Amino acid sequence: MTKKTENPQTEFPKFVVAEKEAGERLDKFLQVKLKDFSRTDIQKLIVDGKVIAAGSVAKKNLRLTEGMHVALSALPQKEASELKPEKMPLHIVYEDDDVAVIFKPRGIVVHPGNGAATGTLAAGLLHYFKDKLSSVNGPLRPGIVHRLDKDTPGLMVVAKNDKAHRSLAHQLETRTLHRKYEALIWGHPRDLSGEIELPVGRDPKSRIRMAVVKNGKFAKTRYKAKTFFAIATLMEYELDTGRTHQIRVHSRYTGHPIVGDPVYDGRESSLSRVPPLYHSTAEILLKMAPAQLLQAVEITFSHPRTRKKMTFSVPLEKPFAEAVQFLEKECLQSAPTFDEDTSFRDFAETEINNPYLEEEIVEDEEEYPYEEEPVKERLTRAERLEIKKERRKKRKAIEAEKREKKERRDAEKRGETYVPKSEIVTGYEPTIDPSFL
């Protein structure tokens, strides 16, 4: 049996590991002992170095042994069990008895957590809608079906009753609720459209950001280039999954961080890769970007009651729109250019010391409760090169198919029989019967 050590000089608990508890992971052990706190709270306490095991600062994946002494030097800050309504301006795009579509501005946290106790969108919704919100996600997330990062503005759908919530959650799970985003990225993507299918999980080197990791959760992002500028590209993204920071992680991994992103190398660390001719333009652009220039511009779902497909869209928020207008005036291009000397692609290969990393805490994943996993390894360089090789191979096959279709159409217009290049025999010289000479 585990014994709690008595010590009148400290208010923080201490434990001794019993025989039956040997082999357990530290975070699970403490979750049983500290029933008033969530596992996420306990994991944060361990990461912050507030747990001592066997006389040393403990790691979150530590396995316990019989007789091991475990001591805490602090307790997690307990979240409020109730959400207090707060009056705040809400931009409601659409509302009926079952759902509401709202525009979340930049700088607003969706729900309490990670130190954000007040000023959340959830508190504003509770003040406006009162008891007309779903309770599926608990008292701290009334009506919240999905979320957006604090500094990502855009459209969200809110459930006004539990039945509507379950319908919308099912659409998220089956990927029939569609969300489109626009973002301004540094540089020009090699492929003008396509899909990024790379697993996303916690960055083993940083507690506050995500990364492409071997054993991460499946993540799929579809993209399309819309407008090219000398130093950046306006992109459209559509999510098939909803992992934390998914677009931001995939953009950085492919070598094109989102302009202004303080966590994923979208600010000053990107300036060295801008052509000297446009360096001052890039500096002005960064001053115009309060954070990552990313916005949820469109949402499509089936109404929970009528089953009617509904689509809502909004224009870009003012700072984002002004940044695009500035680039259109300064350095608009009709097509992408690729300069290996000023490529942004080495973001996929290197880690950069980032002074902004302490400014943002990674929130739990959008659609599924977060469960800590053992530290994961990044994909190796060889694995990344193999992924790129497969992409190039796929792209060449698509281009060859397009050329063949065009050549076939052109031949039909001329009244000729089209013969694919793959069927043409080369290097053959016919022999001539002398009797015909």
Closest CA to 277 of 333, 221, 350, 345: 333
Tell me the C-alpha distance between 234 and 202, whole Å: 27
What does each C-alpha distance from 53 to 29, 64, 76, 277 come to in angstroms? 12, 9, 17, 56
Residue 132: exposure state from Cβ atoms within 10 A (0-12, 13-18, ≥19)? middle
Alpha helices in 37-89 (DSSP H): 39-47
What does each C-alpha distance from 315 to 143, 153, 172, 285, 321 come to in angstroms? 24, 11, 24, 19, 8
Answer yes or no: are the C-beta atoms of 344 and 270 closer than 8 Å: yes
DSSP string, 228-288: EESSEEEEEEEESS--TTHHHHHHHHTT-PBTT-TTTT-SGGGGGGS-GGGHHHHHHHHHH
Residue 288: exposure state from Cβ atoms within 10 A (0-12, 13-18, ≥19)? middle
Answer yes or no: are the C-beta atoms of 246 and 221 closer than 8 Å: yes
Helix axes 26-33, 39-47, angle to 10 degrees: 130
Tell me the C-alpha distance between 245 and 257, whole Å: 12
In 39-134, DSSP assigns E strands to 51-53, 56-57, 69-72, 91-95, 99-104
Scan for tokens 């997330």, then name that residue: 141
In this structure, what DSSP letter does residue 63 have?
Answer: B
Tell me the C-alpha distance between 381 and 375, whole Å: 19
Helix axes 279-288, 318-331, angle to 10 degrees: 170
Half-sphere exposure of 13 (CA within 13 A, CB side): 12
Positions marked catalytic: 149
Question: What Rg value do the Cα atoms of the chain yield, rounded?
Answer: 27
